[in-house]
Amino acid sequence: RYFFPTGKRLPVTLVRGEGSRVWDEDGQEYLDCMAGIATVTLGHCHPAVMKAVQEQAASLMHVSNYYYTVPQIKLAQLLCEHTCLDKVFFCNSGAEAVEGCIKLARKWGKEKRDGAYEIIVAEDAFHGRTLAAVTATATENAATNLIGH
């Protein structure tokens, strides 16, 4: 009753997780085939991840991209040294990543393809709930589902 109908929810209230398993408030165990979904795909409560989160939270929680942090610098360096990348763009959500990709693709099209700007998307794929991401979702009722019609 308090949530926008942004998708079909299962009638389950989860209270804890471990790896790819989750439990509801009645103790029923389920296999989480999405292992956390989207931006947290490492499963639930892995000890190494929990330790890293606790250590980070003990020094800084979130400082946005207005500042640099040592872990951020180390990760950027690691990614650039071990991939074909020479720069990285860290995002807070999948929708932000999708919108960043759309902007980069359109910039590339403008500079390299005589102003090409159209984006090809997968049919019925979900890309997020921001305006550009909903448009890229390419389902007929994506925008109306977002606002609960």
Mean pLDDT of the chain: 86
DSSP annotation of 44? B
What pTM does this model have?
Answer: 0.67
d(CA 2, CA 95): 23
Beta bridge partners of 14: 24
pLDDT at 149: 38
Q: Where are the domains of the chain?
A: 1-59
CATH superfamily for domain 1-59: Aspartate Aminotransferase, domain 1 (3.90.1150.10)
* pLDDT above 90 as % of the chain: 50
pLDDT value of residue 46? 92
Q: How far is CA 89 from CA 25, 53, 62, 72, 100, in A?
A: 38, 21, 16, 11, 8
d(CA 133, CA 100): 10
